[in-house]
Structure 1
Amino acid sequence: MMKTLSHLYSPKRLAVLVLILLGFTIPFFVTSRFYLHILIMCCLWGMAATSMNLIMGYTGQVNLAHGAFFGIGAYAAGLLMLKMGMNFWPALILACIITMVFGFFIGILALRTKGSYFAIGTMCFNVIVTVIIDSWEELTEGARGLLGIPRPAAIPLPFGGEITFTSMPSYYYLVLISLLLTLLVIYRIVHSMLGRSFMAIRGNEELAESLGIHAMRTKILSFLISTVFAGLAGVLYASYIGFLSPEISDYHITFEFLIFCMIGGLGTLGGPLIGAFLLTVVSELLHGVAVPRLVAYGFLLVITIIFLRGGIVGGAQMLWLRVSGKERR
């Protein structure tokens, strides 16, 4: 009984609970629209980076088309709402399905290759998506972009009243809950037999197949889950910003997600989230400074590779093992 309670109330679980409670109380003492904007963007980029980490960090497949799936989700939702007059909530579901369909067909084609060939293939798809969005002006408005994408429709409450998403705090809660659901789903997957299959493929694909794991099917499933959450983040981004241009699907976005993962720690649940939060704050602080964002990101990435090869989370884990005397000799 005592052992069960100690496991239930472990320091790690309590720390996570405190962080969640802190996240929900932030709008009560942070009233600045600027700071709430930063937090909303942190949550959105955190969702995208966390989903990228599933296919890259846990399954070991270097997917360089993640920005394209983010853009597909964003544009699909924007077009459904603006061109077809669809409500946000069914548009969100349909946009995620559209993203998943693209992910399925690209996954079937690209995952037949391995290593650098897979990375190059997915990067080519990313470039193709951006070119199509930029040139298909009749549908996407091209370089002019999609303007006037609405916020989510109000949700009526059973006993009267409704939940609206027009204010900054309300939209912050929407993206925070979406981020927590993303983390919960990926946590459950990673700690399941499916997650162990992902990590077995990352370690040695041939050995995993000899143990009865269907590598192709498992990689496609990881790819699909990753793309769906990238699409979800894209939908929430589109509705929040209210404007989309072809740059939102550009390969630069993919590399930003990759840098978030690497600085935070690939193959760790909290690493990409930490990287996204840290670098989003750095990006906002660099507004007005004559330093390109990717240059600053690149500098931080080099520092991380040299001094923290496992990213921030990996470095913290190594430090804890040294301090506690549990480091393997």
Structure 2
Amino acid sequence: MAVFVLAALVPLFTHNRYFLDVAVNIMIWTITAYGLNVMLGYAGILQLAHAGFFGIGAYTVGILTLKLGWSFWLAWPLGVALCAVLGLLLGLVAFRTRGDSFAIFTLGVGVIITQIINKWNSLTGGNDGLNGIQAPKLGSIDFGRGSAFFYLALITLGVVVFLVARVRSSMFGRSLIALQGSEDLARTLGINVYTHKLRVMMLSTALAGLAGGLYAVYIGFMGAAITGPAQTFTVLLYLLVGGVGTLSGPLIGTALMFFLGEQLKNVGDYQFIVFGPLLILMVMFAPGGIAGLWQRRMFARRSPATTQEVPDAGI
């Protein structure tokens, strides 16, 4: 809560457009990372079509507002609902596989989504993408000016964090964690594994679409590249660095890695020379990510010593 209060004060102390732009992008991609985290972190399911659903949410908003003249406030929830329904349909097929086969299957679906977006020129603009997507308005508030969009992104992120926290502490969330440990054991406890998988898939893809809709109207342009597997792996990197399965991990990892990426933007793909060794070090020394490492240290400080030092016998 304190983090969100402090964040809300940021526009009052700075009008630096670049700083606010980075902050908004971090919040949007953090929402996307939370969507991936509810599947991988809670249910232990690696879904690699995540950026594809981000793109579906973004293109839905872009097409409806730009080509059909819809209000953003109608197009945005429709994009979220469409991603949830498509996530359900994907799950009905994909969950007939398990483990690596599931990950590979969803990776293929992600590639198909990108290809459809790239080739359907009449609807998506193809290689040219969608240009001129307008920022929303709400009464006299123009979200294309000043810090209004910053607060829209912050409020949306706050709602998402609250929702994910409630899911984590609910019976549904506990069932997902049990499912992650062992599907067979979860079944013996009376948990409908298939239904829980479908529900978490819908939640994950809906959050991806939620972030995508925000991204479309903030950037004002959409291209197929942002929907590809490479973007999914980037979000996965944010999650691994921050801490898979933790509540604060997606925010920490996204903020750190996105900011680092901005500093290394001028070197292009060579930035992966930095990201690669960093990821290896994280896996070796902090497999639970930064948030996990912090939690372990705090637990170690609060836990009493389990052993006592044996006094020197003088021998």
Give me the TM-score of the superposition, normalised by structure 2: 0.94
Matches of 1:296 and 1:43, distance apart in 2: 23
Deviation track 1:258-307 (CA, whole Å, cap 9, x = no partner) reads 11111110010110111001011001111223553444332321111111
Matches of 2:167 and 2:214, distance apart in 1: 23
Gap change, CA 1:328 and 1:309, over 3 Å in 2: farther
Among 110, 113, 117, the residue aligned to 2:101: 117
The residue that corresponds to 1:91 in the other structure is 75
The answer to whether 1:194 aligns with 2:172 is yes
The answer to whether 1:240 aligns with 2:218 is yes
Shift of 1:101: 1.6
Gap change, CA 1:100 and 1:328, over 3 Å in 2: farther
The answer to whether 1:147 aligns with 2:125 is no
Among 185, 189, 204, the residue aligned to 1:207: 185
Matches of 1:230 and 1:328, distance apart in 2: 44
Matches of 1:133 and 1:295, distance apart in 2: 30
The answer to whether 1:127 aligns with 2:111 is yes
Query: Percent same amino acid among aligned pairs?
Result: 38
The answer to whether 1:166 aligns with 2:150 is no
The residue that corresponds to 1:296 in the other structure is 274
Please state whether the residue corresponding to 2:244 is helix, strand or coil: coil
Deviation track 1:185-207 (CA, whole Å, cap 9, x = no partner) reads 11001100010011010011110
The residue that corresponds to 1:5 in the other structure is none
Among 11, 20, 30, the residue aligned to 1:46: 30
Gap change, CA 1:204 and 1:225, over 3 Å in 2: same
Matches of 1:233 and 1:186, distance apart in 2: 14
Contact between 1:63 and 1:122, CA under 8 Å: does it hold in 2? yes
Contact between 2:135 and 2:142, CA under 8 Å: does it hold in 1? no
Q: Bigger CA drift: 201-210 or 317-326?
A: 317-326
The answer to whether 1:27 aligns with 2:11 is yes
The residue that corresponds to 2:227 in the other structure is 249
Matches of 2:52 and 2:306, distance apart in 1: 41
The residue that corresponds to 1:320 in the other structure is 298
The residue that corresponds to 1:67 in the other structure is 51
Matched positions, count: 307
The residue that corresponds to 1:12 in the other structure is none
Contact between 1:260 and 1:276, CA under 8 Å: does it hold in 2? yes
The one-letter amino acid paired with 2:260 is V
Contact between 2:33 and 2:238, CA under 8 Å: does it hold in 1? yes
The answer to whether 1:101 aligns with 2:79 is no
Contact between 1:77 and 1:235, CA under 8 Å: does it hold in 2? yes
Matches of 2:13 and 2:97, distance apart in 1: 51
* RMSD of Structure 2 on Structure 1 (CA): 1.4
Matches of 2:65 and 2:272, distance apart in 1: 32
Deviation track 1:35-81 (CA, whole Å, cap 9, x = no partner) reads 00110011001000011100110011011111111011001111111
The one-letter amino acid paired with 2:85 is V
Matches of 1:66 and 1:326, distance apart in 2: 42
Matches of 2:115 and 2:304, distance apart in 1: 52
Contact between 1:77 and 1:95, CA under 8 Å: does it hold in 2? yes
The one-letter amino acid paired with 1:207 is L
Contact between 2:4 and 2:154, CA under 8 Å: does it hold in 1? no
**Counterpart mapping for 1:266-285 below 5 A:** 266-285=244-263
Contact between 1:55 and 1:223, CA under 8 Å: does it hold in 2? yes
Matches of 2:202 and 2:66, distance apart in 1: 26
Structure 2 unaligned segments of length 5 or more: list them: 308-315
Shift of 1:209: 0.7
Gap change, CA 1:97 and 1:327, over 3 Å in 2: farther
Please state whether the residue corresponding to 1:288 is helix, strand or coil: helix
Shift of 1:321: 2.6
